[in-house]
Structure 1
């Protein structure tokens, strides 16, 4: 039997990825693999994720604060607070904070798998300002159902 999980603001295990913080609010371990919910806080001007797809995951974004530029398929949109975006599997997507203030996204992954391990791995690869190699990034991404896509200009 699962126990309720209650996290107050600022609570939850988190990792630092460059200037962004990813806090794991609920992982597959707590939801029997059904979903994972992460809070992603980006400083002004921070890149979040370069364009990629997931072959098995559906990903959802909810903007809590700030302005987030989202690439979804062929569309580039500026998402403001309370915007919701559902990204089906095999749909190119990425995001960045294009605003002048901090931005916060809630990111929901279904199914959850071990998605937090991707963010933990990325935090480790970029620790202390380190710039990981393309090979290291590709290996990490492919372990967690994430595949880069080239942007068409």
Structure 2
């Protein structure tokens, strides 16, 4: 047995065609790459494509995990602890536990990003629920009892919505 043989059995490989797709009604969607159970709790990862101006997540925080975003293409508006930042292709954002945040594709173009939550929380069910909510098959209120389970604690969206509306008006 070679030195790499033992580690190969523990490696997680997810080929593009194997990743579960959760489409969103605006034409974008999630690609579920790795859930916590598949990584021994180390992390959870997904890819998200958003059409121009589409929200990715309303304001929330994670009590237990940090979340990392890497922008593969386009630009993403991030609402971070009450402030706004736009991050373009090749940019990285790391949100520590407890920090309120939200994000969405900047107006004027689509966005493609990778999100990694560490330590991992089993969250594929959360993304599936978001897909159902976006398609009108379930209500947002159905997620409220699941906030601890998914470590997604929702906050008031008024400041985020106001900041996004201001970016639309100013370009």
Once residues 146 and 3 of structure 1 are traced to their aligned partners in structure 2, the CA distance between those partners, rounded to angstroms, is 27
Give the TM-score, by structure 1 length: 0.86
**Alignment correspondent of 1:133:** 139
Superposed structure 1 runs of 4+ greater than 4 Å apart: none
Does the alignment pair 1:144 with 2:129? Answer: no
Sort the Cα spacing of 1:4 and 1:90 in 2 relative to 1 into closer, same or farther, 3 A.
closer
Which deviates more from structure 2 when the two are superposed, residues 131-140 or residues 45-54?
A: 131-140
Give the TM-score, by structure 2 length: 0.78
**Alignment correspondent of 2:37:** 29
Does the alignment pair 1:50 with 2:58? Answer: yes
Once residues 113 and 68 of structure 2 are traced to their aligned partners in structure 1, the CA distance between those partners, rounded to angstroms, is 10
Sort the Cα spacing of 1:133 and 1:30 in 2 relative to 1 into closer, same or farther, 3 A.
closer
Alignment of 1:96-107 (within 5 A): 96-107=104-115
Structure ID, larger Rg:
2
Does the alignment pair 1:120 with 2:120? Answer: no
In angstroms, what is the RMSD of aligned CA positions? 2.1
Query: What do the CA deviations read for 1:84-119 (whole angstroms, capped 9, x no partner)?
Result: 111011100000112322100110011112112210
Q: Could you tell me whether the CA contact under 8 Å between 1:66 and 1:99 is conserved in 2?
A: no
Report deviation, 1:6: 4.5
Structure in which a larger fraction of residues adopt strand: 1
Aligned-partner SS, 1:130: coil
Unmatched segments (≥5 aa) in structure 2: 1-8, 163-171
Once residues 143 and 41 of structure 1 are traced to their aligned partners in structure 2, the CA distance between those partners, rounded to angstroms, is 25
Structure in which a larger fraction of residues adopt helix: 2
**Alignment correspondent of 2:22:** 15
**Alignment correspondent of 2:67:** 59
Unmatched segments (≥5 aa) in structure 1: none
Once residues 58 and 119 of structure 2 are traced to their aligned partners in structure 1, the CA distance between those partners, rounded to angstroms, is 21
